[in-house]
Amino acid sequence: MKEIDQAGLRLLRLLQQDCSLALSDLAERAGMSQSTAWRKVQDLEAAGVIRRRVALLDARQLDLKLCVIAHVTLDDHHEEAIESFSAVVRSHPEIMECYALSGAFDYMLKIRAADVESYEAFMTRHLLRNPHVRNVVSSFVLREMKASTELPI
């Protein structure tokens, strides 16, 4: 995709804050016509800059009060081990985010669960049963200081 102009960046900032805005409101706030706003949004979607539009839910209100950051170490880094672990990550919605890391651990997972007991059951039934997982170090989030989905553009 070509470089995103200032008008496109304005649209992206607005959509990050509220993707449910009506096209007329979006265009007005961005300072452009509806047809221009629609065309720019379509172009950004086609280019993959806008991957999808979602609703952000309150985990606490849905009885997913426990947030866990789990650091995972694999036994080895052969393709089979990585694919096996990736399959576990993809198949469990409790794992909300997964990052391959440099340093002391191989992966960092953000996991949501109802409580400590349900997390323990998930960890022992799924993470630790994977034959390639050597170790899981879990930290329980005590307080969320900042959580944002907005990119700093």
Report the CATH number that the domain containing residue 15 is assigned in CATH. 1.10.10.10
User: Does 148 fall in a domain?
Assistant: no
Question: Residue 134 and residue 111: Cα distance in Å, rounded?
Answer: 18
Print the domain residue range for 107: 60-140
Answer yes or no: do 18 and 66 share one domain: no
With a cut of 70, list the residues of the chain below it in pLDDT: 1-2
Statement to judge: residues 91 and 39 lie in one domain: no
C-alpha distances out from residue 128 to 22, 121, 138, Å: 46, 10, 12
Please give the distance of CA 123 from its chain centroid, rounded to a whole number: 20
* Residue 53 forms part of a structural domain: no
Q: What is the identity of the amino acid at 121?
A: A
Give the helix, strand, coil percentages of the chain, each rounded to 5: 40, 20, 40
Do 13 and 81 share a structural domain?
Answer: no
- What pLDDT, on the 0 to 100 scale, is given for residue 118? 98
DSSP H helix total and E strand total for the chain = 5, 4
Which backbone phi and psi does 52 adopt, to 5 degrees? -170, 165
Q: Distance (Å, rounded) from C-alpha 36 to C-alpha 32?
A: 6
The CATH number of whichever domain residue 100 belongs to comes to: 3.30.70.920
The pLDDT tens digits for 58-95 are 999 999 999 999 999 999 999 999 999 999 999 999 99
Q: How far apart are CA 115 and CA 29, in angstroms?
A: 42
Please report whether residue 36 resides in a domain: yes
For residue 55, being part of any structural domain is answered with: no
pLDDT attached to residue 110: 98
pTM over 0.75: yes
Q: How many structural domains does the chain have?
A: 2
**Tell me, what's the pLDDT at 1?**
57
User: Where would I find the beta strands (DSSP E) of 7-150?
Assistant: 66-74, 95-100, 107-113, 133-140
Q: Do 42 and 66 lie in a common domain?
A: no
